[in-house]
Amino acid sequence: MGQRTVLVTAHIGRENALRSARFVADRLTAAGIAVRTLAGEFSSPGAHEVPASAAAAEGAELVLVLGGDGSLLRAAEFSRPAAVPLIGANLGHVGFLAEAEPDGLADLVERVVARDYVVEERMTIDVTVRSNGTGLASTWALNEATVEKAARERVIEVIIEIDGRPLSRWGGDGVVCSTPTGSTAYAFSAGGPVVWPEVEALLMVPISAHALFAPPMVVSPRSVLAIELIVASETSGAVLWCDGRRKVDLPPGARVEVRRGALPVLLARLQAPDSRGGGFTDRLVAKFGLPVTGWRGRTWEDAGKHA
C-alpha cells in the first residue's frame, strides 16, 4: 500500500485559517501522511505544492478544508472529479458542511490519522444553458443553481417548466434550484423547506415572486427543471450562479435546465450517519442555535431499562 496523502486547503483571506492549516499540515506530516497544498495558499515543511487545478486531489485520500462553507464549495471543484471525500473545519460563520470547530482541530487530525470517519455521497445538479436551442454553457452545483436578476432595481420574468410541461409564469427576483444539501443555504433563505440529506429530491424555490402560485416545490430526483426567460419582457438582464462561484450571463429568452448530477460530491463524516436522521437533526440544532430546552424524549424507555 502506498503512502497516504491528504490535500490541505484554506481560506487565504483569514489569518486564523492559515494558522490552522499549518497546524493541521504539521500534525499530518508528523503522523507519516504526505501533505499537499495548493500553490500560493500557504507553506508547510515537508508539504508538496500542487497547482490549483482539477488534478489537485487526484490520488489523495481526503481533501481537508479550513474555512467556511464557501471554502468547502471551492474545494469541491477539486475533489469531485477525483472522487475524493471532503472534510472541513469551520472557521467561518455557520459552517453547515463542516465537521469540526476551531477547538476540535487536534481531534479532527487524530480521527483522520486513525481513519475514523465514514463517507457520504451528496447529490449534485448538472446545469445546462441554451439559447434558441444552442448550448451556451454546462456547469454543476452541490448546493444550488440560481437564476436571478442582474440589476437590483428591476425584476425578471420567467416561465417554469417541470418534466417538459409548463407550470407557471411569474415576475420576481429569481428562482433557486437546489439539492437537499443546499436546502439549508440560499433556498432556506428564500423560504424553502429543510430537506434531510438522505432524501433524494430536487427543490425549486422562487425568490420574491409576484404571482398567485409560486410556492417552494419538492420534486423527484429524476425530474428535469427548466427556467425560461421571457423574450419580450422589458425587464433587466439575468445571471445564473452555481454555488455562488460559477457565473453565466443569460441573454433574453435563455433556457436553464437543471437535472440530477452525474457525479456526486463525497463528504467525510466523523460519525456514521444516524439511520433515523438524528445526526442531521443535531446539526440543525447546533448550527442554528435552535431552542430545545425542556425536551424530555422517550423517557418511558429509560425508565423501563432501570426497572
Residues 169 and 214 in one domain: yes
Last residue of a domain, one of 89, 122, 155: 122
Tell me the average pLDDT of the chain: 90
User: Is it the case that residue 72 has pLDDT exceeding 90?
Assistant: yes
- The pLDDT tens digits of the residues spanning 100-111 come to 888 889 999 999
Residue 133 lies in domain: 125-260
Residue entry with cell 490552522? 20
Establish if 290 belongs to a structural domain: no
* Among 69, 116, 173, 302, the one annotated catalytic: 69
Residues 116 and 174 in one domain: no
User: Is it the case that residue 277 has pLDDT exceeding 60?
Assistant: no
Q: Could you tell me how far CA 254 lies from the centroid of its own chain?
A: 25
- The pLDDT tens digits of the residues spanning 130-180 come to 998 899 999 999 999 999 998 877 889 999 999 999 999 999 999 999 999
What is the pLDDT at residue 235?
A: 53
Establish if 306 belongs to a structural domain: no
CA dist 299 to 122, 137, 258, 278, 304, Å?
Answer: 34, 55, 45, 17, 9
Residues 24 and 137 in one domain: no
Q: Which long-range contacts (CB under 8 A, 24 or more apart) does 164-171 make?
A: 164/224, 168/211, 168/213, 168/214, 169/211, 169/230, 170/206, 170/209, 170/210, 170/211, 170/214, 171/209, 171/210, 171/211, 171/233, 171/235
Residues 98 and 151 in one domain: no
> What percentage of the chain has pLDDT greater than the value 70?
93
Residues 166 and 107 in one domain: no
Residues 49 and 68 in one domain: yes
Give just the sign of the alpha carbon dihedral 17, 140, 137, 177: negative
Q: CATH code at 104?
A: 3.40.50.10330
Least confident of 102-106, 188-192, 289-293: 102-106
Contact 50, 70 (CB under 8 A): no
Establish if 272 belongs to a structural domain: no
The whole-number average pLDDT for the span 84-91 is: 93
Establish if 285 belongs to a structural domain: no
Q: CATH code at 256?
A: 2.60.200.30
Residue entry with cell 433557486? 176
CA distance 52 to 9: 10
What is the pLDDT at residue 32?
A: 95
Residues 50 and 117 in one domain: yes
Establish if 276 belongs to a structural domain: no
Residues 107 and 140 in one domain: no
* Band of residue 275 on the pLDDT scale cut at 50, 70, 90: very low
User: Is it the case that residue 233 has pLDDT exceeding 50?
Assistant: yes
Residues 101 and 133 in one domain: no
Residues 169 and 203 in one domain: yes
Establish if 267 belongs to a structural domain: no
Residues 166 and 207 in one domain: yes
29 — phi, psi (to 5°)? Answer: -60, -45
Least confident of 38-42, 119-123, 204-208, 253-257: 38-42
User: Is it the case that residue 37 has pLDDT exceeding 80?
Assistant: yes
Contact 189, 176 (CB under 8 A): no
Total domains present in the chain: 2
Last residue of a domain, one of 122, 144, 177: 122
Is 116 designated active site? no
What is the pLDDT at residue 103?
A: 85
Q: Is the pTM of this model over 0.85?
A: yes
Burial of 110-144, coded b for 16+ CB within 10 Å and e otherwise, reads ebbbeeebeebebbbbbbbbbeeeeebbebbbbbb
Q: Could you tell me how far CA 165 lies from the centroid of its own chain?
A: 28
Residues 229 and 148 in one domain: yes
Establish if 303 belongs to a structural domain: no
Q: How many CB atoms sit inside 10 A of residue 62's CB?
A: 24
Q: Where are the beta strands (DSSP E) in the chain?
A: 5-10, 34-38, 48-50, 62-67, 86-90, 118-122, 125-131, 134-141, 144-149, 156-162, 165-172, 174-178, 202-207, 217-219, 225-229, 238-242, 246-250, 255-260, 265-269
Last residue of a domain, one of 229, 244, 260: 260
Establish if 71 belongs to a structural domain: yes
